[in-house]
Chain A
């Protein structure tokens, strides 16, 4: 059974997943823990993708797929083929930069889907990445969160511009639906509603 929640016209429902996420093979290399060098802050203590992993990534010949940014950047797949017919998206990890995605893809609205993988639910970088994709880079298509995605983060993900949520396999997506509506009228402007509460309501009294 699918564990995917999709928002369409503000209505959330559990839907069948038409996308296959292409995974990187497990790394054989020892995990490198980098020192706290300034430019490497994002990478500190996190795994980087090895050339062996990229070479070993298996791309299905048919079907709609979401490929890892690192594999896409390595030009393993010709960007023009699948993307133009709307059957290829890209996913990235929370420590990867949007700049590299934008630079490589050009018009990101050519991508029918962008997915962001969150390894631990407490990693709030995903909210800034979603916000930037929507507000800075004008991305309009499906934005998906997958990985350690739990219901108590859904409200924030929705407000940060995400429109689909692959709930962690051991949890119920049906139960999680309720959390998308935890708050009726949030205070601050965000992606889903840019106007803060004082711009939306007359709060004179």
Chain B
């Protein structure tokens, strides 16, 4: 993974000094709340219901064992012994003290980490596919470009105070796993007909209050121009995006108001001036950064491993885990492993300080000392030999990291919700826990099969509810918490936004509502159909009819 040189280190060190002084001035009364807000936000610090929340950047989801240990130590020292991995591959601490945040940032800087631009109206952490670099269907490893974009976007002076937050995702696979269409800018890398690296650029996607999938603004962009083209897009947005209404301020609203053709015209006119400017990426720079993401020293292994096959055959619990948690690897004899942060009855995405240390050790022992955070809020060990999997599983299981539910109903995406977040209308974690307990039978869970259930506690959509096969949105009605249900949302190349099934429900009704949706699916499905396929074939009607049926008489 990318290692800092002295220039990178100098920037994070100078940031710590800058933020330490800003915090000092705030505490001394030299900065008002309003003046300090954008400063602390651009350093990931929210003021929440009970305490501040600090969001630590995990650039494109990559972590080393050393960094994860530091995160574990910080969670222990400054928080309540746990952290929350978010849907944008970052780590959130829910209970730090404001006075401690400069010290936390100083500690992060010692392991080449920071909280720069993890919040606020600026370019946020650049996200990508959690299987980057090892996926068999990968065309381009997007991480070098993601790192180049991270550096370019860090303290970009022209875009320091945009109308609203700005999220960029990059992907280098045929099957999109980075949800590029749901971002302000999405970049899909591919090899063009001349055999060169090219980019398909999407713009104006986003979830939140007004969910919209992005539009293609350019089918073919040569990679050298990635930064200048983004500058053209963001300049048009910076100048013309709305600043009078926070709910109308995202770029998607501007793109929709102008229409993609007019927006593209303005961007291209701007880019005519910016093309080939000094921010054009050089071959040498791409090569320099790319070296950091070079292949590990893989062993030449056969495609099968006798000890692994034997363990699968003799141990049903291991077999069930292996079936859900392993992912194909471009190298024979290797697998990527997802460690579940969704044990039933716990807050999705949470990891204790001790678990962080365990995962750091596992990564060091079995996966070249690196790991990734997925936007589904799990941890990935990307390079594990088949022969090591059983030993890895035993340790993961002993530490609550091996629930065999990856990709199933209980592997849900969930925001922190109203328990801690001051934006939320409703709690989300207790809903997630109640649903997990309703579907706690593993055989039944596996029978239901692949299903993505996403929960957001408010329409800011941190839990990506619009693109969940089942989406749950917390809403506030006259001061009490209600939940609206959508079905038919999907991420990926054929992304779609879910449809609302009808009036919302009270918290206590939610497990049985989900149960009824599943009942319709189990009854109606054909052999090959996943839940999403059945919803797409039948539409919302039969699901709605069953969920809202009154006084059904048991047969």
Interface positions of A (Cβ within 8 A of B):
33, 36, 38, 41-42, 44-46, 121-125, 127-129, 131, 135-136, 150, 152-153, 155-160, 179, 182-191, 194-199, 201, 203-205
Indicate the member of B163, B239, B245, B254 with the most A CB atoms within 10 Å. B239
29 residue pairs A–B, Cβ–Cβ below 8 Å:
A36-B248, A38-B258, A42-B240, A44-B243, A44-B244, A45-B243, A121-B35, A122-B161, A123-B161, A124-B159, A125-B238, A127-B157, A127-B158, A127-B159, A127-B160, A128-B238, A131-B158, A131-B235, A150-B35, A153-B161, A156-B155, A156-B160, A183-B18, A184-B10, A185-B10, A186-B157, A188-B151, A197-B151, A198-B282
Which B positions have Cβ atoms within 8 angstroms of A? 5, 7, 10-11, 14-15, 18, 22, 35, 38-39, 121, 151-163, 227, 235, 238-245, 248, 254, 257-258, 262, 273, 277-279, 282, 284-285, 288
Q: Cβ of B39: which chain A residues have Cβ within 8 Å of it?
A: 152
Rounded to whole Å, the gap between the CB of A122 and the closest CB of chain B is 5
Contact A185 B7 (CB under 8 A): yes
B14 near A183 with CB under 8 A, answer yes
Residues of A within 8 A of B161 (CB): 121-124, 127, 153, 156
Least CB distance from A178 to B in Å reads 8
A123→B7 contact, CB < 8 A: no
**Once A and B bind, how many residue pairs between them come within 8 Å at the CB atom?**
132
- The reply to whether A188 and B279 contact each other, CB–CB distance below 8 Å, is yes
Interface contact B257-A124, CB-CB below 8 Å: no
A contacts with B: majority SS? loop
Give CA–CA (A39, B492) in the complex, Å. 34
Q: What residues of chain B lie closer than 8 Å to A159, measured between beta carbons?
A: 157-158
* Chain A residue nearest in CB terms to B18: A182
Query: In the bound complex, how far is the Cα of B12 from the Cα of A38, in angstroms?
Result: 40
Task: Tell me if A187 and B159 are in contact (CB < 8 A).
Answer: no
Contacts of A38 in B (CB 8 A): 257-258, 262
Assembly CA distance A128 to B154 (angstroms): 17
Candidates B121, B157, B262; contact of A122 at CB < 8 Å: B121
Nearest 7 pairs between A and B by C-beta? A124-B161, A45-B244, A159-B157, A156-B157, A198-B285, A187-B151, A189-B278
Closest chain B residue, CB of each to CB of A118: B161
Extra inter-chain contacts (16) besides given A127-B157, A188-B151, CB under 8 Å: A41-B254, A45-B242, A45-B244, A127-B160, A127-B161, A128-B238, A131-B235, A135-B273, A150-B35, A182-B18, A188-B154, A194-B278, A197-B7, A197-B151, A203-B285, A203-B288
